[in-house]
Structure 1
Amino acid sequence: MANIILVIVLCICFYTDIKTRKIFNYITFPTMLFGLFYNLLISGVDGLLFSGKGFLIGLALLFIPYMLGGMGAGDVKLMAAIGALMGTSFIFYSFIYTALIGGLIALLLIIKTKGVIKTIKSFSFNFTNVVFLKSSLGSIILSNEKINSISFPYGVAIVLGTLCTLVWGGF
C-alpha cells in the first residue's frame, strides 16, 4: 500500500514541479500524516518511530541546502514525506540516488547553457584557485549573479532518485 501511495505522490510532484516549479503542501502534508498513521497501524509504536525517524532524516538531509537558498521548501517537505512513508534506510538511499541524478542534471544543464569549453575553463579556474588557496569559498560557485545562474526543478531529481530506490533498493 505504501509503495502505491508513494508512486502516486511522486507522479503528482513530478508533474507539478515541472509545470509550476512547486511541490504543494496539499500533497506533502497528507503524505506525511498517512506515513505516520499507516506505519503506526501496521507496526504499532515501532512503526510510528520508524516513520518519525524517516521524517526527521528526510527533513534534515535537505534542510541546509534549503537554508542556503539552493532549493525550495517543497523539495525539503517532499523528502520528509518520503521518509515518513518509507523509513530511514529508504530515505538515505533515495537521497544518494537523488544527489547523483541532480548532479548529472546540473552538469548537463551547465554544459548545454554555457558550452563545453567555457564549462571546462570555469571548472579548471575554480579548481586551481581552491587547490592553491588563492580564493575564498565564494569563487567555487560558477556565478554569484542570479542572471547567470542555472536552476532546475530539483523535485524531478528527488522523484527519479526515489523511483531508483523503489526499483533497485540499496547498493
Structure 2
Amino acid sequence: MMDYFHFIILGIFIIIAFYTDVTKSLLPNWLTMSGILVGFIYHLISDGLNGLLFSIIGMAVGGGILMLMYIFKALGAGDVKLFAAIGSITGLQFTLYAMMYSILFAGLIGVIILLVKQEFMRKMFYTIYRLFASIRSKDFKSLENFKRIESTRFPFMYAVLPGIIMTFYYFH
C-alpha cells in the first residue's frame, strides 16, 4: 500500500488543481508549492535521501521542460509549477509520460474546439500568414498580439486530468 500512497496524494492534488483552474483560471501558489513540499516530505520519509533525490529530479524535470513552453507563452506559470509538483510527487518517469499525454490531449482539445466553432481552416491559414509576415518583417510584436487575441485558450487542466489518468492506466 505504501508504494501507491503517492498516487493517492497525486489524486487529491489533481482534483483540487482541476477545480481551481476550471473555476478561477488559476493554479494558486499555495497549492503548487504544497504539492512540491508534500512530494519532498513523502519521499524523504518513505525512502530517505534516495527518495528526496527522486522527488527533486522529478520536480526539476517537470518544471524545467514546461518552463520552456512558458517562455514561448504556450502556457502559464501555474502550469509550470503544477508539473513541478507532479514531478515531486511521482518522480521523473511518470511525470514525463503525464506531460506527453497532457500535451497530446491539449492539441486534440484545441482541434476539437476549432472544428466545433468551424474556424479551423480560417485560423490555420491566418496563423500561417501572420507567422510568415512576422518572419519577413522581422517584427514579432504583431505575432505576440495575434497569439494573445486570436488564440484558442482553455484551462490546461482539461488536458492534464486525462493525461494523468492515461499515464496511471499505462503504469499500472
Same fold, TM exceeding 0.5? yes
Letter in 1 for 2:85: A
- Mark the runs of 5 or more structure 1 residues left unpaired by the alignment: none
The answer to whether the 8 A contact 1:79-1:158 is kept is: no
Q: 1:104: which partner in 2? A: 108
Letter in 1 for 2:35: T
- Mark the runs of 5 or more structure 2 residues left unpaired by the alignment: none
Question: Quick one: which of 161, 165, 172 aligns to 1:163?
Answer: 165
The offset of 1:66, in angstroms, is: 0.9
Normalising by structure 1, report the TM-score.
Answer: 0.82
Distance 1:148 1:71, change over 3 A: same
- 1:3-60, CA deviations, whole angstroms, 9 ceiling, x for partnerless residues? 1111111111111111111111111111111111111111111111101100000111
| Count of residues in Structure 1 that have an aligned counterpart in Structure 2 | 166
Runs of 4+ in 1 over 3 A off after TM superposition: 119-127, 133-138
Q: State the SS of the aligned residue for 1:31.
A: helix
Letter in 2 for 1:50: F
The answer to whether the 8 A contact 1:36-1:48 is kept is: yes
The offset of 1:122, in angstroms, is: 5.0
Q: 1:30: which partner in 2? A: 34
Question: Quick one: which of 127, 143, 146 aligns to 1:144?
Answer: 146
Correspondence 1:7 to 2:16: no
Q: State the SS of the aligned residue for 1:70.
A: coil
Instruction: Show the 5 A alignment for 1:118-137.
Output: 118-119=122-123, 121=125
Correspondence 1:70 to 2:88: no
Q: 2:22: which partner in 1? A: 18
Using the alignment, how far apart are the partners of 2:121 and 2:63 within structure 1? 37
Using the alignment, how far apart are the partners of 2:106 and 2:147 within structure 1? 21
Letter in 1 for 2:29: N
Normalising by structure 2, report the TM-score.
Answer: 0.82
Percent of counterpart pairs with the same letter?
32
The answer to whether the 8 A contact 1:65-1:71 is kept is: yes
Using the alignment, how far apart are the partners of 2:108 and 2:42 within structure 1? 34
Using the alignment, how far apart are the partners of 1:5 and 1:137 within structure 2? 46
The answer to whether the 8 A contact 2:111-2:120 is kept is: no
Letter in 2 for 1:86: T
Correspondence 1:154 to 2:156: yes
The offset of 1:164, in angstroms, is: 1.4
The offset of 1:158, in angstroms, is: 1.8
